Structure 1
Amino acid sequence: MIACKKDQQASPEKVDKNKKSVEIMNAIRPKLYGTWIMKRVDVKAILTARGEIGIQKDTTLTDFANLTVTLVDNYSQPLNDINNDVTGFLSFRAKAYPVGFRMMASPSWLSHSTGPQTVALFDYRFPVGTHIVGADEQYLRYLTVVGDNYTIQVSDDGKTMVWKGLNRAIRQIDFVKQN
């Protein structure tokens, strides 16, 4: 029988989550600007995708759309620099739709510096007021490219980005930065 002497109780390392969140947002912010091509979109055949747009089995879409990031703001709300508020346009079938998402550091990255760096809800950002919904806009929502939560991993060199859908039809979106 082997016995070990306990000199001290093991305690997890204390992580300053706010400080680490700020570090993550500062590291990612400059990499986000520019135009990103949705090179590969992996879609699961779930009810909304099957019923509304006719996707009957798992599907991969290539060169699907472009996401242009025009603003990454961490100062719109005082003392809230632990998030990045990202604004831009999603170009799909010759139309550009205002979109955005508010990034928060992912729990796995905060605690272990592994996995996706952030999580966010990607959605339309039309101005307040009346808005007529077009067919392509509705298609993007039914497909759940827009209106879903994603984990987001940006490569160290800032040339690629991977979004993994958390709730609905999109399994993964692979982005490549346009030069």
Structure 2
Amino acid sequence: MQSSARVTMYSPSAFVFVLISCGICVITVTAQTPTPAPADTPCALKSNTTCDECLQNVTCLWCITTKKCIEYPVKSILPSNSVCPLNDARWGLCWLNFQILIITVSVLAGIIIIAVLVCCFCCCKCEKIGLFNRRKREDMQMERQTRLRKDRQKTRRSEMQMRHDEIRHKYGLSKDNPYARMDDH
């Protein structure tokens, strides 16, 4: 007897994806501090101050070694080494190293891509297995129908043979010995 209860199993990649997503959400929620963003103050005026004062403006980049607050070089996605080494650059948060930020984001992106590929592979694999099981069921059903058809045909043949034997007996054509000639009677 089969139970109608269904057990759902999750793959390890789905668990890792959910775990990483939760971690990213927690980091972004805790990292967001409400700070006023005065856009009017140029970044160069905040040089030789503190990292927190510099990064109040979203367009500013703080360099720890030179203690300079500069405009973020938007045209070259990453700040060049001549402007500020990545290890010393801070943008958005003073405690977050720019180099570690780039590495972390690229690793997370790689994990997400791998998780998506694994999920796609598993879904395709499950679909192929389902297709195989469907074909197997269809083959079994065809075999069962063929067997039933043969049984009905055998039954009809035996019924027809019985009727023919009755007719032969009725008209005295029945043979006691199946090997006897019909002329002897």
More strand by share: 1
TM-score tier, shorter chain, comes to: under 0.3
Report the TM-score when normalising by structure 2.
0.23
Larger radius of gyration: 2
Greater RCO structure (CA 8 Å; 6+ sep): 1
Report the TM-score when normalising by structure 1.
0.23
